[in-house]
Structure 1
């Protein structure tokens, strides 16, 4: 066990230069939604970022936007259901920047909304492959990269408030995200002694493309979810990104193994 006291790298210089100054960040699902918002935010906060997703046009657009704003960014194609693709994407961060400090495993896929007896086996397998096995593959590669380079680091997985309650409209999605919560806790317990923190965030209703697609298939679902939310509205993706950035920063240096609800009070 590592009994060396933690020494924060936060100084007046890093506070002015950014929450994630000097860190190399790997982000999955970075072409749109919460992932794209996080890539922009992490770069503004001083990190060098590697964006990963399946759609190159989206990745390229966000990467160019970050560079135009003075940030350091690149992108790599990554299919979370493909172990070789995941390992290669994580390794690319080390090839580009020489190290890996932090990772945000945000990539996910949706399921057709409806009761679980109406979900096809193929859709169930796809949801589990991307939303559960994908984070496991990513964490395994990220931990190896952190160990080999930065030595200490932090990982955040995107869960969902749907993992914390019955989820009749998205049962496989909720179940996979609940499995991610368990995996997060196990990883935090396993790798904490090495100085690698692992947490998850559980977003509530968030105005992403995935949510709008759900609303198209189930008209009125956004209004229904907002009616169950004490703050009475959906989150902007940047609000979720802010929580992830904090958990990945040294300001959360004593936080590990938690699932942080960022849900406007839905689960209060």
Structure 2
């Protein structure tokens, strides 16, 4: 198994992406520490992982709370002995953020993702980096989306926030590489089966005066394979990148856009 005897924290583990990645990590042998703000959602994911023969623990953690993040990382080290993987999949409801032109957007609506995504990723990555540096090994993963690198209208502060997270990941990789710690950003597109993307596509569709399905098809047509990536595809890549088989990969933005972005 790719992640045998590894210990992984997944922030936002109750959400669609976080839970899928947690399942993928567990299936590859990792002990997964599920962190999020909603304990009931984490319980469901933990029960599913246990039923499949995996190992999972849960903790209610707000990724925006510096002290909670640090205390949880300490608890993982005490319990498991190491912290080998950190993956941040926190998200925000997008109503009032996407689907509105920048010139019509309020400062507060623009600020919300800018204040949330970079800070949450900074706090969780910093907590992991401090402990991984001491053990001289580990992998920090973050996730963004294709608008960070393309010219897409009606994204509000989301595209700038994702671009900031990508820049943060490169800076961390430069500082942590000499200490044996890798940092990789997964840049995804699509995943229309997730509740958040369904919401987002609905917001954009309403702005254009088309149906949600029509907007989804428009997005799929922008990819080279005419098919949007799925959550399972993203999760499988996350498990590989977190493994020792990807040991040469750091400071990278892994392109999981299905060809929406061409490198």
TM-score under structure 2 normalisation?
A: 0.90
Q: Name 1:189's counterpart in structure 2.
A: 174
Q: Name 1:205's counterpart in structure 2.
A: 190
Deviation at 1:48, TM superposition (A): 0.3
CA contact (8 A) 1:80 1:130 kept: no
Q: Name 1:62's counterpart in structure 2.
A: 45
The structure 2 residue matched to 1:79, chosen from 50, 55, 62, is 62
Any idea what SS the aligned residue of 2:157 has? Answer: helix
Mean Cα deviation higher: 192-201 or 47-56: 47-56
* Structure 1 unmatched ranges of 5 or more: 1-17
Deviation at 1:146, TM superposition (A): 1.8
Mean Cα deviation higher: 42-51 or 87-96: 87-96
Q: Name 1:215's counterpart in structure 2.
A: 201
Any idea what SS the aligned residue of 1:174 has? Answer: helix
Q: Name 1:153's counterpart in structure 2.
A: 138
1:6-45 alignment runs, 5 A limit: 18-45=1-28
Aligned-partner Cα distance in 1 for 2:236–2:59:
23
The structure 2 residue matched to 1:51, chosen from 7, 14, 34, is 34
Aligned in 2, Cα 1:213/1:92: closer, same or farther, shift over 3 Å? farther
Deviation at 1:145, TM superposition (A): 2.0
Aligned-partner Cα distance in 1 for 2:109–2:50:
37
The answer on 1:127 being equivalent to 2:113 is yes
Aligned-partner Cα distance in 2 for 1:104–1:197:
12
CA contact (8 A) 2:133 2:180 kept: no
CA RMSD in angstroms, aligned pairs only: 1.5
> How many corresponding residue pairs?
250
Deviation at 1:217, TM superposition (A): 2.4
Moved over 6 A (4+): none
Aligned-partner Cα distance in 2 for 1:211–1:21:
32
